[in-house]
Structure 1
Amino acid sequence: MKRLYLFLLLFVFSSVTLQAQINLKKPLKECNALLARQLVEQQADASKSVEETDKRINILLRVADFLWIADEETARKYFGEAFQIANERFREKGVEKTESKGLTVYQPDYRFNVISAVARRDAEWAKKLSGEVLKEFDEDKEKDKRGANDKDNEIRDLISIAAQTAKDNPNLALTLARRTMRYPLLDRWYFSLYQMAGNNQPLADQIYGELLTNYADAEVFRLLYLSAYPFGNGRIFGVEKHSMGMSVSANFSPNQNLQRQFLLTLLRRVMKLTSESTTKSSSQIPETAIAVMALNDLELIVAQQFPDLMQTFSQAKIHASSITAGDALEAAKKRDESGKKFNKSFDEHLADLEKADGEGKLDEFSIFLLVSAAKTDEHFKKAESWIDKMTDEIAREGTFNYFYFQRSKLATKEKRFDEARKYALKVPKIEHRAVLYFDIAEAKMKEPMTKLESLETLLEVYQTANKSPDTVEKAQVLLGLAFMFEKVDHLNALTSLADAIKTANNLENPNLFTSSVTQIIKGKNFTHFSSYSVPGFEVTETFYEMSKKDFLTTLTHATNFSDKYLRTLAVLATVKDCEKND
């Protein structure tokens, strides 16, 4: 670190001398292309001793992306090396996943990390690499031994890259999307079409039309993955609608032509069903029953918006009903009914709880549903006493944390800052409480009368964090503080950054690359996950932001990490924009 800092001083001094010699009109900026390239090359060389392949791949990708404009040949070498390492890792480890508190966490397939990075620079090369991965996927005789949720991972990842590239390279997005259409229709399209539409809706609409044509004979439960998009619905139609939901952008425009195309495709497919159709969805509901339930959901839409299709629709519904066994339809109705409880209002949940309590049938999940349905402070007041009636200690503690987390967020939204702070103090985990305090500080910054108070809020988090034992969560909170302080107080931002580094240096292999916090509420019969994005928790985001105002000091801090991987990525984030100053 001392040698690097000495190099920086010598470089700045020599830059000033050179300027005097050639009589430049403007001094050479501290953050300049020459310095940045030298530092990036140093990090690339240093990464050769990094043994963990995931870390080495990440370093190579960032170095390659930085060098692309100035030295494309070297950048290609690093991209190629990263892909080779990623390939070797996949052949050794296969699909990587871990189990944590009832949650299956999938690790990235680093081959697609490389393809995604390459796609931003060279579309043809990205196509070639994706073709190599698909060829290996096709030839893999072991993939059928994967779990049901794992066997199509490569196709899911390629769909995601198609969505990511829709804005900047629609031709590449279209090519990748079409390549995935050689494989079974996956639920990933339900999410990715909306993501793609956010970047380029005309392209998303075009791909949607091609998906309908390509998968016209797919199983009904698969076709329903495409049912939400043309209507702009947050949920698909049919019995599985309660298990698949998302928020749709207000800027999304439903397409009536695509709605009609979907309806005609579905109706034709339903008419091809027979009593011998035995295909079942993941919930083990026969597709004939799935078809009946979906048509029930669509009937009003067809009657109101497509009356010319009502005769065809009625024929399809009669046909599906006639070939569906009674027990299959009852199973579908039962599943649909059980899912409806997720969409009940707060008052409906409260009425259910009062009835169950009177009958001695109270359960933890119903109480949690009441809490999660609270939308006003009056709701929270009514729900509070029910938490104490949870007999499972783990479920009660998780629900308590969730309750006050959500109540604090609501108070902040309504600018009841004192109450927001009061509720945040009841949240036990430091990283969760920090999220709430950051929300409060951010809201105060926007109000002229409370802008200075935002500093007090952040200082309170800082004091709490410094009293805590050294953990990854503490380091993340301090990084987040540096990010937030930078908006109002640069010196405190630097202090928080230094403390974050000090904390990280006391930990073994700390992961500071997560930009969100997760809440897990686990009961006997349910598990609920919530994830919240937190600006600044991810180390490279904070260093990049702080380098904009104080490049040299931020760079010096970046070199203070004892962990080589953290040090490398912090340096790379700091010099990210220096190329623009050439």
Structure 2
Amino acid sequence: MELRRPKTVLFSNTMRTHTLFLPVVLLLSFVLNSAAQTVAPTKSEISGCNVDLARLAVAQRADESGTVSDTEERVNILTRVADFEWRYDKQAAHDHLAEAYKVAAARFHEKGFENENDQGIAIPKPDLRFRVIEAITKKDTAWAKKLIDEILAEYEKDAEDKTDDRDKARELSATLSIAISTIKSDPALSWYLFRRVMAGRLDSHWLFTLYEVAASDPRFADQLYSELLTRYRSEKPRRFLFLSAYPFASNRIVGIDKFQFGSSVPATLGPNPALQTRFLTTLMQNFSAFVVDPTNLTAPAEPHRLGEPAYVVSALNELQPIVAERFPSLLPQFTELSTIANSTLNDNLRQSMDDKNEREAGFRSSFETRIKELEQADEEGKLTDEMIVSVATWGLDSLSEDQMKRLLPWIEKIDDKDAKEATTNFFWFMRTKRAVRDDQLDDAEAFAAKVKRIDFRIVVLFELAEARTKVINSSAAALGILSDAAKQVRSAPDSVPKARVLLGLASKYEKINHAAAIDALSDAVNVINHLQGTEVLQTTIRQMIKTRRSLFYYSVEVPYYGLEETFKIVGKNDLDLTIANATTLTNKYLRTLAVIGAAQSCVDNKKPSKKKPQKR
């Protein structure tokens, strides 16, 4: 396969509106081509990398940002240009970041928090202020802390008055996200931000945060958990239970709300007996103080929640078998507390708990129980699509191969054609991922062929290819898998999934075959230029399973689909063709990201020139 220029004509769609960009690219092309004709390139120069020209190309993207009407795009352009330019001109980079934050803050004050609609689901849009701050944290910690403190101070003024649950803690979640991202690069900043958020009430964001931290640094996560236990030891029982999952490495919290709050758990994280002991003793102290105060028992419940005694009783009932088995020394005190707590429940609250447990019975049932329920409903003529889809989509990744085989005939019984197709797609997708995880690669390849949605199929084909490359002398097999995927993708109509998959192919190919990577990148550019907007930047594939009475919704995170990262990966070996592809993107924002990605590959990999020693 030959290296090739993009199929679209260079500047054909941008020549009139972007005249400032033309001389730079022509100059870049001239310099690169001239150098290729007159000088045999060394290994470090094969890509055609020239730092000054790369900087000039990026600088023009900053100048062009003023003509971008979309606020998010403009902010992202300025922050990315600043990140690129920081090593060369800190003042210019600082000015770009200041301008980006000014634009982001003005947008927030005008619009507040924003959402976008995805198949009927409201998806929160990012707070652009924090996107800029995240970029600033990499360059100027003091400035980042100042901006976050200002935002949180404003948040704390009216935190109690917020009525929309989705917006109540967005600032806190964004702050925690930055804290997580700086654990390795700036742990002092991480601790500052974590403790800054601890100034507020305990809420569900800590459940997710602990596991995200553990994925990066387990020791840091353990220390953070210990500090959270101390800080919130007197919190109300419902909120205190957000700390119940971590010491057990459980994907769900303890208590009556366990099916409202769950999180994925890092595969490397296991139960921690020492933290379990601390949690249980702190919980008993918390609950003991709660049940002896009569005012707690009659206090109104938080909106949309049960009364606090329900959380005390449900947690104690769930934990008692664990205490009896693993912590017998705590059992007498625990049993006494449980007896007292159960006596505090009034009839209304007890009935509310029973009703909630009944509604969630399916979630609490084992796979075997749920299959028996399907069998019984089928015999009685009461089987519904909703019942089957619920079983087929709940906990599928934890099923054994035998259980998955037993589930498939039930999926075939779904009446609604679209629901059956979507559920079948999800089933084979998850079964393929399971086979890859279990190193059953031949089975995985066969299963992947049954995933009908092409974007989902490519995801698992990518995972399969990665697994193949980990085996000695398996690159040819991986290349074959990618080539097969590429044939399927190129034959499909232009679409956002097709563009994302081609970017993914380019990234994957780069590890195996550079010529194929350039080929896929060129195809991706052509597809993107036929699309509307910037959806190609999304790295999540979503699917909705809609039955007559219910809606099931799931999403899949997809690696290597980032536009900028793909151009950076491919540009490491060939800046000339990569940046040529980047400059043919017609969307200004996408073009900026692609140019920066390609340029970044140049400056990151350019070896510093060796100065000749001066003669004495």
Q: What is the rounded CA distance, in whole Å, between the counterparts of 1:266 and 1:69 in structure 2?
A: 50
| Offset of residue 345 of structure 1 | 4.1
Instruction: Pick one of 156, 160, 164 that aligns with 1:138.
Output: 156
TM-score by length of 1: 0.90
- What secondary structure does 2:166 align onto? coil
Distance 1:503 1:248 in 2: 37
Structure 1 residues 429 and 548: alpha-carbon distance in aligned structure 2, compared to 1, 3 A threshold: same
Report which stretch shifted further, 293-302 or 559-568. Answer: 293-302
Per-residue deviation at 1:19?
10
Greater mean deviation of Cα atoms: 44-53 or 429-438: 429-438
**1:510 has 2:534 as partner:** yes
In structure 1, distance between residues paired with 2:333 and 2:402: 49
Give the distance between the partners of 1:184 and 1:90, measured in 2 at CA: 24
Which residue does 1:84 correspond to in 2?
102
SS in 1 for 2:554: strand
Paired residues for 1:473-552 under 5 Å: 473-552=497-576
Match of 1:8 in 2: 28
The equivalent of 1:44 in structure 2 is: 62
Between 1:38-47 and 1:210-219, the stretch displaced more is 210-219
Equivalence for 1:118: 136
Q: Which amino acid is the alignment partner of residue 245 of structure 1?
A: G
State the alpha-carbon separation in 2 of the partners of residues 162 and 297 from structure 1. Answer: 33
Shift of 1:338: 4.3
1:406-421 alignment runs, 5 A limit: 406-412=430-436, 420-421=444-445
Question: Cα distance 1:477–1:365, how it changes in 2: closer, same or farther (>3 A)?
Answer: same
Equivalent residue number for residue 192 of structure 1:
209
Contact 2:25 2:57 in 1 (8 A): no
- Measured in 1, the distance between the counterparts of 2:466 and 2:93 equals 39
TM-score by length of 2: 0.85
Q: Secondary structure at the match of 1:243?
A: coil
| Counterpart amino acid of residue 283 in structure 2 | L
On the 8 A contact 1:156/1:186 being kept in 2, the answer is no
- The alpha carbon displacement at 1:502 in A equals 0.9
1:430, CA displacement in angstroms?
A: 2.2
Within a 5 Å distance, the mapping from 1:173-572 to structure 2 comes to 173-252=190-269, 254-271=271-288, 272-273=290-291, 274=294, 276-280=297-301, 284-336=305-357, 338-339=359-360, 341-342=362-363, 344-372=365-393, 375-412=399-436, 420-421=444-445, 423-447=447-471, 451-572=475-596
Matched, 1:172 2:189: yes
Report which stretch shifted further, 399-408 or 59-68.
Answer: 399-408
Question: For the residues of structure 2 that align with 1:265 and 1:70, how far apart are their CA atoms?
Answer: 52
Distance 1:426 1:348 in 2: 28
How far residue 218 of structure 1 moved from its aligned partner, in angstroms, is 2.1
Q: CA deviation at 1:226?
A: 0.8
- Residue 5 of structure 1 aligns with an amino acid whose one-letter code is V
Say which SS state the counterpart of residue 480 (structure 2) adopts: helix
| Structure 1 Cα separation of the partners of residues 190 and 463 of structure 2 | 36
CA deviation after TM superposition for structure 1 residue 553, in Å? 1.1
State how many pairs are aligned.
578
Contact 1:504–1:561 under 8 Å retained in 2? yes
CA distance in 2 between counterparts of 1:340 and 1:523 reads 20
- Cα deviation, 1:112-139, whole Å, max 9, x if unaligned, reads 1112221122221111010111122234
* 1:306-358 deviation line (CA, Å, top 9, x unaligned): 44433432332222211111332243244345445335444332222111111
Contact 2:24/2:57, CA 8 A, preserved across alignment? no
Query: SS of the residue aligned with 1:532?
Result: strand
Amino acid at match of 1:92: E
The one-letter amino acid paired with 2:330 is: L
Decide whether the 8 Å contact of 2:46 with 2:574 is kept in 1: no
User: Which residue identity lines up with residue 326 of structure 1 in the other structure?
Assistant: D
Runs of at least 5 residues in structure 1 that lack an aligned partner in the other structure: none
Q: Distance in 2 between matches of 1:169 and 1:354?
A: 56
Using the TM superposition, give the Cα deviation of residue 220 of structure 1 relative to its aligned residue in structure 2, in angstroms: 1.0
Name the aligned partner's letter for residue 289 of structure 1.
A
Q: Secondary structure at the match of 1:242?
A: coil
Higher relative contact order (CA 8 A, sep 6+): 2
Contact 1:186 1:222 in 2 (8 A): yes
Note closer, same or farther for the CA distance 1:226–1:419 as it changes in structure 2 (3 Å cut): closer
CA distance in 1, matches of 2:410, 2:36: 69
Q: Over the residues paired in the alignment, what is the CA RMSD in angstroms?
A: 3.0
For 1:469 and 1:202, the matched residues in 2 are separated by 49
CA deviation profile, 1:8-28 (whole Å, cap 9, x unmatched): 1344479899999xxx99979
- Hey, what's the Cα distance between the residues in 2 that align with 1:250 and 1:525? 35
| Structure-2 change in CA distance of 1:343 and 1:439 (3 Å) | farther
- Give, as a single letter, the amino acid of the residue that structure 2 aligns with 1:124: A
Q: Distance in 2 between matches of 1:353 and 1:25?
A: 64
Whether the aligned pair in 2 keeps the contact of 1:230 and 1:255 (CA below 8 Å) is: yes
Q: How far apart, CA to CA, are the structure 2 residues paired with 1:358 and 1:517?
A: 37
Cα separation, partners in 2 of 1:326 and 1:25, compared to 1, 3 Å: closer
* C-alpha contact 2:297 2:309 (8 A) present in aligned 1: no
- Equivalent residues of 1:15, 1:28 under 8 A apart: no
Identical columns (%): 37
Greater CA drift, 364-373 or 502-511: 364-373
Matching residue within 146, 159, 169 for 1:152 = 169
- Runs of at least 5 residues in structure 2 that lack an aligned partner in the other structure: 1-10, 12-21, 609-616
Change (3 A) 1:578 1:487: closer
The C-alpha deviation readout for 1:195-216, integer Å capped at 9, x for no partner, is 1233334433333233233323
Report the Cα distance in structure 2 between the residues aligned to 1:406 and 1:507, rounded to whole angstroms: 29
- Pair 26,170 (structure 1): closer, same or farther in 2 beyond 3 Å: closer
> What residue is the counterpart of 1:101 in the other structure?
119
